[in-house]
Structure 1
């Protein structure tokens, strides 16, 4: 696989890794600019048709960057958006970044290496990097910020040049190597495997900012929190934060299989969205939205005795109007995305007359990521990984996420030769317990079937 890869996989010293020559190219999942119009007029924008696997050129490092050998990554919905070329082609983002000039010009390529989660080993550091060294095990925050912008020093997510790494930038994590700014690095939790650690950063950090941070809903003990899509990557972490923080999670799921996932997290209040009467069509009918909101409110009140103080939103169009309606007087709807449609409508009377708030939230700043990862190091929060795929089958893994067939996070093994590697604190792992660390392992099924193609490398 190459001298550098061999050095990393053999746990070589930092000096030996530094002495190994960089390859001129590396294997990566990527998009091609000539494919950007391939889905025009197509109903089923199957990401298996647009995601390519092959070698791309190794980029030069900027002074504030590190090169990471990617041991494992994970699939996020932003990779699905990229592979569908929605809401617009990601190549437009790369061209916009390149217009900044200097090192940013490298991002404008005829290919786009995607992926916003990473666990790996630092193999090179830029001349301006001080706090990180070759050989260190790290995970990566997907918040790509400009540290020379004043606003960044108040909150990195408010900076005008803040970008989502792996979506609006190039050379990212579904690959053998990735380029990362030093301001994105976090120490890898030593008790987690590579694939477990890779399933944490984006979703766990995003959910932390939405619920726990003072910049989000600022959840307090006793709060009732309605979590849409609770069996997804974001939802699984949201339910854990609510329980860990003394709140009451109300999980909305779409099947009994997903309800079982909630029970494995200790969630006691679980609602099936089909019983609420939610369909993609009701968003166009205000009366049906209110009816669904009334039904949902009655179901929640029957189980916990009050309306939600916080609604955790990332579904979008089919649910947003219901979320605004059902939240407690003075309550909060916090949203970080719209996987089912981003044109929302809601009855504003239930917002202004009942003094509710809508908070937009995006990824998390570096301090919030470090705070969230501390909870993993303590064993209070655990990964929501349900399956592991090899990089060669990443398109099948992305198709599962596109079709909403997964539970939690699907990890992708990149340079790691097999699942289960990367643990450097086995004592802590044993103390937390294998079952506790992997409550959802094996719940994503069908990944080796004809519908999606591909083959998990850890059949459960």
Structure 2
């Protein structure tokens, strides 16, 4: 461990952190451009073969950027995409970004440090950074935006230069250090450990925008919300937002163990996808989607009394046609991704003739992230942490997510020497209660041991 890392781990004062020299390189989980064709013609694109953990050069911060010593991070599906080099190698994103010139040129390298979650300590702040200081404890929004774009001042997610940090940019969070814009920083919830804080931002912020924000479904009391993949990272936060907002959460999961985990989150109705004949992740024809949708609709109506007002959709090809069919007349399907494939087929008659809506949603703007973080900091939303790996085992952690063997979020310890560190408000933690803070951890440990 370098001297600066040692100082961070020891809890050194800001002045000492500023005096301590930056290392020339650091440890990071990364992929390499030379491997981009390694899975051509291979059916099982095992990310353990493409993800590497080793030393990479330290980048220089731009005036509007901060360097964060990462105490903990987490695995998201975009890291799986990066490591599979699908749907396109993410090195294309880095090349396109670098064409802007100037500071953007640093991102086009023969390696990419991946990861879009993180919690840590600010160790350097550029000359243009006004609201953050060395020593601040932060979590990181995954949305890198351009504050000089006009669209960003209406909604930063509409800007054409908006990028997913650690996926469409370099220097991501699965590392000892990460480079981010100051406009990505959010105060770390003081009652959470590093690993608990690190697992929230991408999935919780995305679910908040999809369901709560006025740019999403704007759920209200009594709304029936169908949540695909309710035991996953996105779904586990979606269940909590629906319950907090007075809605009725209907979760679809893939195993009895995942059903028990979602019930622990307070889901009103949990359905095993095999009950409705959805037993795979392949393409679902429009005709089969209607059959599955009829079965699903009958179960929901029998248990809840009515059809879903909103469908929380991120699975994509395997479920999207079912979502369009099953949501009620005038209802909304809100989608943020397509983990089973992005080419969706559905019967459009059920969309236009029943006045349904499809809402596209992507990550969250900084205001939405702060509003979401406020709920987490108040103890109203709980971390979805289910398993924890050291940085050296990122390939195994990503493989767990790739095979959908995980529950909630899979955390990664980076500079933090062990779990349970980073709490600066133990009184609030005691008031909330340890038993409430990690509702998915027992289920995630059991799930991971099955593989």
Take 1:309 and 1:25, find their aligned partners in 2: how far apart are those partners? 51
CA deviation map 1:73-125 (0-9, x unaligned): 00000000000000100100000000011000000000000000000000000
The residue that corresponds to 2:331 in the other structure is 331
Question: For residues 449 and 254 of structure 1, do their structure 2 counterparts lie closer, same or farther at Cα, with a shift above 3 Å needed?
Answer: closer
The residue that corresponds to 1:341 in the other structure is 341
Alignment of 1:66-81 (within 5 A): 66-81=66-81
- Please give the root-mean-square deviation of Cα atoms over the aligned residues, in Å: 1.2
The residue that corresponds to 2:384 in the other structure is 384
The residue that corresponds to 1:427 in the other structure is 427
Q: In the TM superposition, what is the alpha-carbon distance from 1:285 to its structure 2 partner?
A: 3.1
The residue that corresponds to 2:247 in the other structure is 247
* Structure 1 stretches lacking a partner, 5+ long: 452-460
The residue that corresponds to 1:374 in the other structure is 374
Q: In the TM superposition, what is the alpha-carbon distance from 1:135 to its structure 2 partner?
A: 0.2
Q: In the TM superposition, what is the alpha-carbon distance from 1:448 to its structure 2 partner?
A: 7.4
Q: In the TM superposition, what is the alpha-carbon distance from 1:343 to its structure 2 partner?
A: 0.5
Take 1:122 and 1:221, find their aligned partners in 2: how far apart are those partners? 40
Take 1:205 and 1:449, find their aligned partners in 2: how far apart are those partners? 29
The residue that corresponds to 1:418 in the other structure is 418
Q: In the TM superposition, what is the alpha-carbon distance from 1:284 to its structure 2 partner?
A: 4.5
Task: Tell which deviates more after alignment, 271-280 or 384-393.
Answer: 271-280
Task: Tell which deviates more after alignment, 122-131 or 6-15.
Answer: 6-15
Provide TM-score, normalisation by structure 1: 0.96
Question: For residues 77 and 332 of structure 1, do their structure 2 counterparts lie closer, same or farther at Cα, with a shift above 3 Å needed?
Answer: same
Take 1:75 and 1:346, find their aligned partners in 2: how far apart are those partners? 31
The residue that corresponds to 1:198 in the other structure is 198
The residue that corresponds to 1:150 in the other structure is 150
The residue that corresponds to 1:287 in the other structure is 287
Take 2:340 and 2:56, find their aligned partners in 1: how far apart are those partners? 32
Take 2:151 and 2:211, find their aligned partners in 1: how far apart are those partners? 22
The residue that corresponds to 2:177 in the other structure is 177
- Contact preservation (8 Å) 1:282, 1:289: no
Question: For residues 189 and 281 of structure 1, do their structure 2 counterparts lie closer, same or farther at Cα, with a shift above 3 Å needed?
Answer: closer
The residue that corresponds to 1:64 in the other structure is 64
- Contact preservation (8 Å) 1:300, 1:307: yes
Take 2:190 and 2:436, find their aligned partners in 1: how far apart are those partners? 16
The residue that corresponds to 2:311 in the other structure is 311
Q: In the TM superposition, what is the alpha-carbon distance from 1:291 to its structure 2 partner?
A: 1.1
Q: In the TM superposition, what is the alpha-carbon distance from 1:286 to its structure 2 partner?
A: 2.5
- Contact preservation (8 Å) 1:121, 1:138: yes
Take 1:17 and 1:359, find their aligned partners in 2: how far apart are those partners? 45
Q: What is the DSSP-based 3-state SS (H/G/I as helix, E as strand, rest coil) of the residue aligned with 1:290? A: helix
The residue that corresponds to 2:99 in the other structure is 99
Q: What is the DSSP-based 3-state SS (H/G/I as helix, E as strand, rest coil) of the residue aligned with 1:151? A: helix
Question: For residues 174 and 325 of structure 1, do their structure 2 counterparts lie closer, same or farther at Cα, with a shift above 3 Å needed?
Answer: same
* Structure 2 stretches lacking a partner, 5+ long: none
Question: For residues 36 and 183 of structure 1, do their structure 2 counterparts lie closer, same or farther at Cα, with a shift above 3 Å needed?
Answer: same
- The answer to whether residue 368 in structure 2 is matched with residue 355 in structure 1 is no
The residue that corresponds to 2:207 in the other structure is 207
The residue that corresponds to 1:15 in the other structure is 15
Q: In the TM superposition, what is the alpha-carbon distance from 1:444 to its structure 2 partner?
A: 2.2
Question: For residues 68 and 254 of structure 1, do their structure 2 counterparts lie closer, same or farther at Cα, with a shift above 3 Å needed?
Answer: same
Q: What is the DSSP-based 3-state SS (H/G/I as helix, E as strand, rest coil) of the residue aligned with 1:416? A: coil
Q: In the TM superposition, what is the alpha-carbon distance from 1:447 to its structure 2 partner?
A: 7.9
CA deviation map 1:211-243 (0-9, x unaligned): 000000011111000000000000000000000
The residue that corresponds to 2:297 in the other structure is 297
Structure 1 runs of 4+ with >6 Å offset: 446-450
Take 1:33 and 1:442, find their aligned partners in 2: how far apart are those partners? 38
CA deviation map 1:322-347 (0-9, x unaligned): 00000011000000000011100111
